Structure 1
Amino acid sequence: MEIIDRWWQAVLAGFGGSAQFVPTLWPLLGLLALCLLLTVPRACWRIFGLYVTFVHELGHAFAALLTGRFVHGLKIRLDHSGELVSSGKPGFSAVFSGFWGYPAPAVVGAGLVAATSFGHGSAALSIGALLLLVSLLFLRNAVGIAVALCSALAAQLLVVFTPVAATSWVVLGLGMMLLVGSVRDLFKVIGVHTRRRELVASSDAYLLATRSWLPAWFWLAGFTVVIGGSVAFSVWRLWETLA
């Protein structure tokens, strides 16, 4: 089909080379302001937060596959909660896969920022589009499938229709939004452990504490280190690009 061939050629074109990305300060600040506007207000977060949850659960799934676990499927709910079902040996693999949920959006966001700063925004967009298509295999509930389909469709449309000159800015914006979303979710999970204790049983940090001899605060600190490091790395890369 012509439309599929056009899409595939656009995906391949993303790997065809790199384009130097040399932003200036004010456009970068303007993009950051736009990203905050699309992620911080509650009305916007109800929508974009579902995508952040999707990346969160994919982080669990990828970490599970890396340690030899079998992923049966994942679910996403409208309240931004999610669930990954995997099987394998208890111990390290269960703890490792359980950790890489909250940090995943931050790591992916930092990767998109880095890819853009090195001139590989188009390749990052193509890789993301393909990974989102593959992720459809793991969804097991209607909301999750809808979120994955919308995310995958948006990624494919961006690959096909984004002008070459705008690709770096689109990928950079998505990376910034994921970083903001990861920080927002970090504050949320810390709040569960400090102010909303009735919800603590659903926290990844609590679940990790039950699977290991380390307390929940240790895992919260781990989330903070990885997310904070991702944000710091992204700021440094953008500063180097400006310089």
Structure 2
Amino acid sequence: MDQGLETAADASLTDLWDRILGTQAAPETWLVIATGVVALAVVVPHGVWRLARNAITIAHEGGHGLVALLTGRRLDGIRLHSDTSGLTVSRGRPSGIGMILTAAAGYTAPPLLGLGGAALLGSRRITALLWIATALLVAMLVMIRNAYGVLTVVLTGGAFLLVSWLAGSEVQAAFAYAVVWFLLLGGVRPAFELQSKRRRGGAGDSDADQLSRLTHVPAGLWLFFFHAVSLCSLMGGARWLLAV
């Protein structure tokens, strides 16, 4: 009896593993284009973007936090605010490569996540993308240190979890493609917003300015780097997404 239960459990685990890592049917081209149009309609209008930008902030601050951990820094916590700003606090050397990579990870994280998601969708691993995103959000939730941040991450993670468990394959595909398009397109706009703020004399303590102080490279060049990463990610990701 115990052996039978163990065999059934192993079979269920194998089925779950296959479901996560297996490939799914490629969606119709019209769905890929339609989700891109929807994402663009969310990113361009200011009113809608003002709300949707919270998701980009999650990726931005998550990028800071992940790279801080990978470079050996101690991550104290992450805060997400209702004005779509955020703050990631880590401890370690106040200078050096670890601090530079951590500071550079914010603006580059959303488009690079979108590029990685496009690679997964290009290989038809829709379910894997949904589960990886959910796992990253759960890991980030542990480090959130304010109520608004917890609410934002829980709602976002809940959406991914519900779609990955309860939705049909077509809904999962539409959701996954919309999310990746949003990361790619939404990853472009923040760098332009930062450029506009700096032109008006604001954002004096932005990531670009922090990087300038750390590296003695002009903030404008770091801003150019943010633009290059986001635009190249958009072009590369679009090629993968449209190659259905």
1:58-85 C-alpha deviation (Å, 9 max, x unpaired): 0011111111001000111111111110
Which of 92, 116, 120 in structure 2 is aligned with 1:111? 116
Extract unaligned runs of 5+ from structure 2.
Answer: 1-11
Counterpart for residue 23 of structure 2: 18
- Tell me if 1:53 matches 2:67: no
Q: Does the residue aligned with 2:24 lie in a helix, a strand or coil?
A: coil
Which of 136, 139, 144 in structure 1 is aligned with 2:149? 144
Q: Counterparts of 2:241 and 2:170 in 1: how far apart (Å)?
A: 18
Q: Which amino acid aligns with 1:152?
A: G
How far 1:50 sits from its partner (Å)? 0.7
Identity of aligned residues (%): 28
Counterpart for residue 165 of structure 1: 170
Q: Counterparts of 1:130 and 1:47 in 2: how far apart (Å)?
A: 23
Counterpart for residue 229 of structure 1: 232
Which of 191, 198, 218 in structure 2 is aligned with 1:193? 198
How large is the Cα RMSD of the aligned pairs?
A: 2.0
Mapped contact 2:32–2:177 kept (Cα < 8 A): no
Mapped contact 1:59–1:100 kept (Cα < 8 A): yes
Q: Counterparts of 1:126 and 1:238 in 2: how far apart (Å)?
A: 19
Counterpart for residue 88 of structure 1: 92
Which of 53, 67, 71 in structure 1 is aligned with 2:71? 67
Which of 178, 197, 209 in structure 2 is aligned with 1:206? 209
Which of 126, 134, 146 in structure 2 is aligned with 1:121? 126
Q: Which amino acid aligns with 1:65?
A: L
Extract unaligned runs of 5+ from structure 1.
Answer: 1-7
Mapped contact 1:56–1:104 kept (Cα < 8 A): yes
How far 1:174 sits from its partner (Å)? 0.2
How far 1:116 sits from its partner (Å)? 0.9
Mapped contact 2:79–2:87 kept (Cα < 8 A): yes
Q: Counterparts of 2:160 and 2:19 in 1: how far apart (Å)?
A: 13
Q: Counterparts of 2:21 and 2:65 in 1: how far apart (Å)?
A: 29
How far 1:12 sits from its partner (Å)? 4.7
Mapped contact 1:110–1:179 kept (Cα < 8 A): yes
Which of 11, 15, 33 in structure 2 is aligned with 1:29? 33
Q: Counterparts of 1:14 and 1:44 in 2: how far apart (Å)?
A: 34
How far 1:169 sits from its partner (Å)? 2.5
Counterpart for residue 5 of structure 1: none
Q: TM-score, with normalisation over the residues of structure 2?
A: 0.88
Mapped contact 2:198–2:204 kept (Cα < 8 A): no
Q: Counterparts of 1:230 and 1:31 in 2: how far apart (Å)?
A: 17
How far 1:13 sits from its partner (Å)? 5.9
Mapped contact 1:106–1:179 kept (Cα < 8 A): yes
Q: Counterparts of 1:134 and 1:102 in 2: how far apart (Å)?
A: 20
Number of residues of Structure 1 aligned to a counterpart in Structure 2: 231
How far 1:165 sits from its partner (Å)? 3.2
The 1:16/1:113 distance shift into structure 2, 3 A limit, reads: closer
How far 1:235 sits from its partner (Å)? 2.0
